[in-house]
A = this chain, B = another copy of it.
């Protein structure tokens, strides 16, 4: 089983990212919960929060054993005769205090299943950035780091995976992207296992490096009450996306996953009221979202 190998590597990824996020806020504390899954396996959830920079971050690891694949996953692959599967993953989300610092999300996952006498596997993952205020140069820095990562592996990856990301992180009812994007890939197994694994781990490394750089640049900037209110208002979009569309969230909740871990990604404070006129902020932001898609 490759899952054993991945278990170790992904656990290490979780540990590294926890440490990196704690370094972003010297006041931050972590709260770790270990849990078991009904059908086998379990996870380690880590919530980080501080008074200065990290309002709330979640760095969750899980490795689940299952007998019955969710219909959404079966659909895609047309697999029949599935006997057993392992799904291992790390999810990261960071909600900063400072509205000038962006919110960001990472997910890496590995799936392995026995179908008849065959074992199949694939990797999936991606990351995206959801800023409230962002300059063109910072947006391009984020995109370029994703492109550089992809190009190390395959010249076609970036275009494809960036496109996936743009399609996935979109709110049809608002006709709005969730943010400035990043990359998103699924069912990656058309290269050597070692290369696929290396790419997936590199995603996590690129994510935390680029995000930490952006975060540190922004975390001590001054901001107004109105800017903070705009952040809370835009976080509403994040909640709408996660509860209305996010496949991971919906599958997790419907399949009896651990609710507190799944919803750890929810922003700590959210507002659906426009306490100020946000038109100028919103126009600028949506313009940058559109520019990121060009």
Contacts and interface: CB of A to CB of B under 8 A. Distances in A.
Interface string A249-269: 010011000010011001111
B271 A268 contact: yes
Nearest to A175: B259
Of A172, A240, A250, A254, the most chain B CB neighbours within 10 A belong to A240
A77 interface: no
A120 interface: no
Interface residues of A, number: 25
A243 B171 CA distance: 13
Contacts of A236: 266
A244 interface: yes
Contact of A263 (B56, B268, B272): B272
A91 to B, nearest CB: 16
Contact of A239 (B232, B243, B269): B243
B272 A272 contact: no
A24 interface: no
A273 interface: yes
Contacts of A273: 49, 56, 268-269
A173 B244 contact: no
A285 interface: no
A185 B166 CA distance: 41
A210 B31 CA distance: 44
13 contacts: A49-B273, A56-B273, A172-B253, A173-B262, A232-B269, A239-B239, A240-B263, A243-B243, A269-B269, A269-B271, A269-B273, A270-B270, A270-B271
List 8 A-B pairs, minimum CB-CB distance, nearest first.
A243-B243, A266-B272, A268-B273, A173-B253, A270-B270, A173-B259, A243-B244, A269-B271
Interface of A: 49, 56, 172-174, 232, 236, 239-240, 243-244, 250, 253-254, 259, 262-263, 266-273
